[in-house]
Structure 1
């Protein structure tokens, strides 16, 4: 597959692995205290890496509106990067976003003509060209603008990718204007219908057959064949779902209105349906006076994305949160959300908007979804690295936090437990191939063992074994030291890993 190359691309492709894991510190809670929604303040590259032990493979939908690299400077973003620098900025972030995305998830990226075509090649490489869903054209403005002799730009690109074939695209709600092509000229008892395409889009030799009409005429198959097998044709002809034209020169397949419960999403999204940047600016100024956003996104645009790509309760992520629109819409639509924004902007712009959402503000899509307020979120800040420069573990790290990181580093997936209260973190696999993971750290065993239970000893072993008496496979035990002879560890199928060095090696 073709790949994009630029000055600095080799380093950009190593960046994600070099980013340190950081702590996530809750600064304040807003609304319901048990909410799982997070507004994170900090650089999104660091924040995405920090989220992996908690949410890798669990995010259903990602929407990002990164800097467009338009060669102009914005107050809160550097939107004047050299082209190669912009690509180097995007590559590691897309890599981490892919790790966070669920198998049945999707990512949607808005850009304009400056970088969208380069990003398409970049994203093909990271997500796989076969996972490209489409390039939606968003009609973001209706007023002509610009100068004579130049094109007036009225669109942005919205690139969609799935994580895998497990992703399913939902239909849009069906409106009355979508039914204007349906009628019932032959008084079909099933009601209004329209003619559907009978041609196949791919060459299928088994669908290349000719059809004989009642009067003996022959209708040749389309160049690539019919959309249906001969058996299906004969069955639907008998049921009245397929009919011949009056001159018997073609067949007509009926698509019934009563079977249409939604509308297939199209690749042209018009301003009257999903809003404009002018509409988005009004929404932003309703909660904070600011000229910081040149191209904010209207709530109706995000609503459409979440409608076709998520269900209530799904987790939505925006790592370029901007004015907070994605989090606001996800909240109103009953989705869980994580928003990442850097600097004071997270506190001065995003925080007040989301507080108003919790309190039931009636802007944007609120009336359309009957939003009355409720829910809550945590305002979170990026903290210190989990592992310090000298290789030691940050003193703020408690047992449960390190347990989550150790589990993720071993299995590349978050642990399902909400909390850890035992040195036995869990068992992966079955029978003799199963692996039990144990962490001896931060006095998890109290004073019952040496060094507060942080050292593996022969005296400690029977207790650890009692935590999984049926386990017959291998043990992976993390601790500060081991006083059990190596020969005995081999006999017991124990792999000992010393904290912090064997964690850092990963």
Structure 2
């Protein structure tokens, strides 16, 4: 019998006992479990009254049915029981975690940075082995309710070359799309959902460099996630990011070999209606500078998976078309002898009846090509040589010149061929002018030759020397501006929108600014003087590092900074900053009075509960316990509650949110 039908039958059966339902008729799982532990006869009779339920929770022994109360209680405890929409997320990716496919889990991973002021401000040596701690919390779909609703944005500031200013307006184009550079502070999953209303289908390029799940404990980024949490964490964010891409948009996701295979399978599933372009391999360090000499195999490479919408076309690198090989001139000294070569008319010149001279390269010069090897198979002139010129050596002799009519794209109307010059030789040459279309481009000064895009780049030098770029530092995870320049120029034009929702120290944003692209950056961690805001302030003031000199950037421009308006998130930060159990107990009273708690939490704080809490004797575990009590739907203020006086949203913020969200506000 299908699981859903069995659940419905079991719930309906249990609801027949008034002790198992509340005043509104909803089932009380706690009451059911309590009766099960007591082996209550009323419950057992109720379960025995249905054959399917009986066969599931009872074992037959010598004609007697024995209640397996442990199996029953485990079933009631499963999130699938009373899970509502939990099991509706049936997008099977094939990555099995805890006995369920990743998309069957229907979970959302929220990652909270543990903020320790000593760690963030005082760590100066990577060898100290200190790291930011993330609380990983998995929320079932039926628990998130309004979490993904648009949020109120607050603390708006515009940063210009003249300094920080209040935001009085938000620039939009004729279609109402925001045309500003934005940095948003707050949980990146919730911020992405907040952006959907305004930027769905507007972003040309997404580049992210997420934590790699390496267990790295370098300063700054903490890459430590367990495997299943990391996959859930990435799925949540990539699914909503996909909605923001234009119909010709593209996403680049960088990772190392700890997760690249799993990430590739995950992205194949999420972007199943898009196109997997390639995986680019980036050398990020030199072999002699390996991270640890204890490793038998040195990790020098990181990968970037590229997926794009079907209308996307990359901007290929180009180079000026060279005429340096067009240096030959052929002088005819006689009228020659006419003949037919296949279907072509030709003129034969014997040795002494022509002269081939080398000159300076010019638009009228000819290029010499040997008719040999693959040229004989893949080139039209090469094929003609093999079929008609080479066999003529036994008829016309060595060292002859053939002027063949009706061959070539150079507008000359003919092509010169020379036959073998020595006895026993089979090789010859042909001479061609500059193709007509290329010649016109050269004459107008607009000739460019497209180059292929390789799937390997060596940025070891860039990674080794990017530590101080932009006037900010991050000893692990920082990317060179040269890498982002390559990606942005390959995929976008000026004024396109670039998004990075793991913006860290702001490399993507800085390069976008210098290349005159609009950008959106999201970051939830505090890097203080090394964060993206300070980097972009340096850029506006004329930062000379990175690609500045190469692209002629001398400063200027502006960006807007704003934050998701916190509510329960403020409580989380207070919990994270606490230094003792006693401080947490004191916080609990304030939290119970002034915060939104999960519906099942008893806001009272009896003395024995406080004693039990202190007895846990592990500050981190205690913090996690308190955070679990908070309603995660109320981490940030929902836009729908902007007029609620409890949240005290200022009139200025109301006005800016109205502009940001447009007519749907």
**TM tier, shorter chain?**
0.5 to 0.7
Picking from 157, 180, 200, the partner of 1:28 is: 157
Q: C-alpha separation between the residues in 2 aligned to 1:255 and 1:67?
A: 51
Change (3 A) 1:244 1:157: farther
Provide the secondary structure at the position in 2 that maps to 1:320.
coil
TM-score (norm. length: structure 2) = 0.49
Q: Would the aligned equivalents of 1:13 and 1:92 in 2 still touch at CA under 8 Å?
A: no
Q: Would the aligned equivalents of 2:181 and 2:518 in 1 still touch at CA under 8 Å?
A: yes
Picking from 364, 388, 411, the partner of 1:189 is: 364
Q: Would the aligned equivalents of 2:408 and 2:432 in 1 still touch at CA under 8 Å?
A: no
Q: C-alpha separation between the residues in 1 aligned to 2:284 and 2:633?
A: 45
Query: Does residue 136 in structure 1 map to residue 318 in structure 2?
Result: no
Using the TM superposition, give the Cα deviation of residue 173 of structure 1 relative to its aligned residue in structure 2, in angstroms: 4.6
Q: Which structure: larger Rg?
A: 2
Query: Does residue 100 in structure 1 map to residue 244 in structure 2?
Result: yes
**1:266 matched to which residue of 2?**
454
**1:283 matched to which residue of 2?**
469
Using the TM superposition, give the Cα deviation of residue 236 of structure 1 relative to its aligned residue in structure 2, in angstroms: 4.4
Matched residues, number: 382
Picking from 553, 559, 564, the partner of 1:382 is: 564
Q: C-alpha separation between the residues in 2 aligned to 1:253 and 1:320?
A: 53
Query: Does residue 301 in structure 1 map to residue 447 in structure 2?
Result: no
Change (3 A) 1:345 1:191: farther
Change (3 A) 1:95 1:371: same
TM-score (norm. length: structure 1) = 0.63
Picking from 79, 96, 102, the partner of 1:6 is: 96
Q: C-alpha separation between the residues in 2 aligned to 1:235 and 1:294?
A: 56
**2:35 matched to which residue of 1?**
none
Provide the secondary structure at the position in 1 that maps to 2:640.
coil
Change (3 A) 1:186 1:356: same
Provide the secondary structure at the position in 2 that maps to 1:337.
strand
Q: C-alpha separation between the residues in 2 aligned to 1:109 and 1:254?
A: 45
Q: C-alpha separation between the residues in 2 aligned to 1:130 and 1:193?
A: 45
Query: Does residue 395 in structure 1 map to residue 642 in structure 2?
Result: yes
Q: C-alpha separation between the residues in 1 aligned to 2:495 and 2:656?
A: 23
Runs of 5+ consecutive residues of structure 2 not aligned to the other structure:
1-90, 110-140, 162-166, 172-179, 330-362, 392-405, 420-425, 568-631
Larger RCO (alpha carbons 8 Å, 6+ apart): 1
> What whole-Å deviation, never above 9, does each CA across 1:62-118 have from its counterpart, x for those lacking one?
110011111223454441212222111111111111101111111111111111122
Q: C-alpha separation between the residues in 2 aligned to 1:41 and 1:304?
A: 27
Change (3 A) 1:160 1:392: closer
Using the TM superposition, give the Cα deviation of residue 404 of structure 1 relative to its aligned residue in structure 2, in angstroms: 12
> What whole-Å deviation, never above 9, does each CA across 1:16-43 have from its counterpart, x for those lacking one?
9854222222432101765611111111
Q: C-alpha separation between the residues in 2 aligned to 1:395 and 1:264?
A: 52
RMSD between aligned alpha carbons?
A: 4.6
**1:477 matched to which residue of 2?**
none
Q: Would the aligned equivalents of 1:244 and 1:252 in 2 still touch at CA under 8 Å?
A: yes
Change (3 A) 1:242 1:61: farther
Provide the secondary structure at the position in 1 that maps to 2:561.
strand
Q: C-alpha separation between the residues in 1 aligned to 2:418 and 2:296?
A: 49
Single out whichever of 393-402 and 29-38 deviates more from structure 2.
Answer: 393-402
Query: Does residue 82 in structure 1 map to residue 232 in structure 2?
Result: no
Change (3 A) 1:401 1:282: closer
Using the TM superposition, give the Cα deviation of residue 384 of structure 1 relative to its aligned residue in structure 2, in angstroms: 5.1
Q: Would the aligned equivalents of 1:41 and 1:346 in 2 still touch at CA under 8 Å?
A: no
Using the TM superposition, give the Cα deviation of residue 337 of structure 1 relative to its aligned residue in structure 2, in angstroms: 0.4
Using the TM superposition, give the Cα deviation of residue 125 of structure 1 relative to its aligned residue in structure 2, in angstroms: 1.3
Q: C-alpha separation between the residues in 2 aligned to 1:37 and 1:154?
A: 34
**1:157 matched to which residue of 2?**
303
Q: Would the aligned equivalents of 2:283 and 2:300 in 1 still touch at CA under 8 Å?
A: yes
**2:313 matched to which residue of 1?**
168
Provide the secondary structure at the position in 1 that maps to 2:152.
strand
Q: Would the aligned equivalents of 2:152 and 2:639 in 1 still touch at CA under 8 Å?
A: no
Using the TM superposition, give the Cα deviation of residue 249 of structure 1 relative to its aligned residue in structure 2, in angstroms: 9.8
Runs of 5+ consecutive residues of structure 1 not aligned to the other structure:
202-206, 218-232, 406-414, 426-438, 442-506
**1:66 matched to which residue of 2?**
210
Q: How does 1:398-417 map to 2 (within 5 A)?
A: none
> What whole-Å deviation, never above 9, does each CA across 1:220-241 have from its counterpart, x for those lacking one?
xxxxxxxxxxxxx976498689
Q: Would the aligned equivalents of 1:39 and 1:380 in 2 still touch at CA under 8 Å?
A: yes
Picking from 116, 120, 135, the partner of 2:264 is: 120
Q: Would the aligned equivalents of 1:57 and 1:102 in 2 still touch at CA under 8 Å?
A: yes
Provide the secondary structure at the position in 2 that maps to 1:334.
coil
**2:550 matched to which residue of 1?**
368
Which is richer in helix?
Answer: 2
Single out whichever of 385-394 and 76-85 deviates more from structure 2.
Answer: 385-394
> What whole-Å deviation, never above 9, does each CA across 1:406-430 have from its counterpart, x for those lacking one?
xxxxxxxxx9x9785xxxx5xxxxx
> What whole-Å deviation, never above 9, does each CA across 1:180-234 have from its counterpart, x for those lacking one?
x973475583666989988999xxxxx9xx97832497xxxxxxxxxxxxxxx97
Q: C-alpha separation between the residues in 2 aligned to 1:254 and 1:4?
A: 57
Q: C-alpha separation between the residues in 2 aligned to 1:392 and 1:418?
A: 11
Q: C-alpha separation between the residues in 2 aligned to 1:135 and 1:153?
A: 17
Provide the secondary structure at the position in 2 that maps to 1:276.
helix
> What whole-Å deviation, never above 9, does each CA across 1:304-331 have from its counterpart, x for those lacking one?
1011100110100001111110000000
Q: How does 1:466-505 map to 2 (within 5 A)?
A: none
Q: C-alpha separation between the residues in 1 aligned to 2:376 and 2:504?
A: 45
Provide the secondary structure at the position in 1 that maps to 2:550.
coil
Change (3 A) 1:102 1:130: closer
> What whole-Å deviation, never above 9, does each CA across 1:138-178 have from its counterpart, x for those lacking one?
122235124277232222112211122x1111122537xx9
Provide the secondary structure at the position in 2 that maps to 1:313.
coil
Q: C-alpha separation between the residues in 2 aligned to 1:346 and 1:198?
A: 61
Single out whichever of 125-134 and 78-87 deviates more from structure 2.
Answer: 125-134
Provide the secondary structure at the position in 2 that maps to 1:393.
helix
Using the TM superposition, give the Cα deviation of residue 350 of structure 1 relative to its aligned residue in structure 2, in angstroms: 1.4
